[in-house]
Amino acid sequence: MRVLFMGPPGAGKGTQAALLAQRLGIVHISTGDIFRSNVSQGTPLGLRAKAFMDKGEYVPDDVTNDMVRDRLAQPDAEAGFILDGYPRTVAQVLELDGMLADSGEQLDAVIELTADTDELVTRLSKRAQEQGRTDDTPEVIRRRLEVYADSTAPLIALFAERGILTAVDGLGAIDDVTARLVTALAN
Ligand code: ADP
């Protein structure tokens, strides 16, 4: 199963993608996690990405696309994956289309995890206190929500046109949301 998780920062993509991937026995690939791990290891990729992430901006497409191409080529992604946080721009969608076409694969589903803006800001502010992510400050949170609305929200329409989009309500208890996702993917 090849699934994309979309939705604004704070919608719970990372949490739910990890739970669901475990349940389905496929890998969870989060571009944000890969960037953060590169930042903490001080790799050249991490140094390049950090400047963008700390401002709430997207890392340039060429950097991100190459990273995802490498990750999807790993053997553990062959059986399927949940891709969380990619694609986020039209150029990334086209790039992903190409990657999948090269290996004769296609997406099975795109999930849009939804939550209203007040809830997103509350969750991200709480995470800032708990985890100290450098991009969870009020100013950067605002910018990330703006960048999502400008650059990524339009992709939802694109996947809806392709007939593979399902919106799932991200509000409520974690287990309840997981159950909704399981149902959505079974249909
Ligand atoms: P969130 O969805 O809460 O913003 P992520 O952990 O998914 O958090 O991403 C954190 C940051 O990593 C983004 O703000 C961006 O700078 C960078 N990033 C992650 N995925 C991408 C992507 N597909 N394209 C460009 N930048 C990305």
> Over the stretch 116-126, which tens digit does the pLDDT of each residue have?
999 999 999 99
Percentage of residues of the chain with pLDDT beyond 90: 95
* pTM for the model: 0.94
Structural contact between residues 143 and 55, judged by C-beta atoms closer than 8 angstroms: yes
pLDDT tens, 142-165?
A: 999 999 999 999 999 999 999 999
What fold, for 2-30+80-186? Rossmann fold (3.40.50)
Instruction: Report the amino acid identity of residue 8.
Output: P
Q: What is the pLDDT of residue 187?
A: 80
The mean pLDDT value of the chain amounts to 95
For ligand 1, residues with CB inside 6 Å are 9, 31-32, 35, 52-53, 56-59, 64, 85-86, 88, 92, 135, 144
Q: State the Cα torsion 92-93-96-102 to the nearest 10°.
A: -120
Active site residue 180: no
What is the residue extent of each domain of the chain? 2-30+80-186
What is the CA(115)–ligand 1 centre distance, in A?
18
| pLDDT mean over 75-100 | 97
- Contact at 8 Å (CB) between 45 and 67? yes
Catalytic annotation present for 88: yes
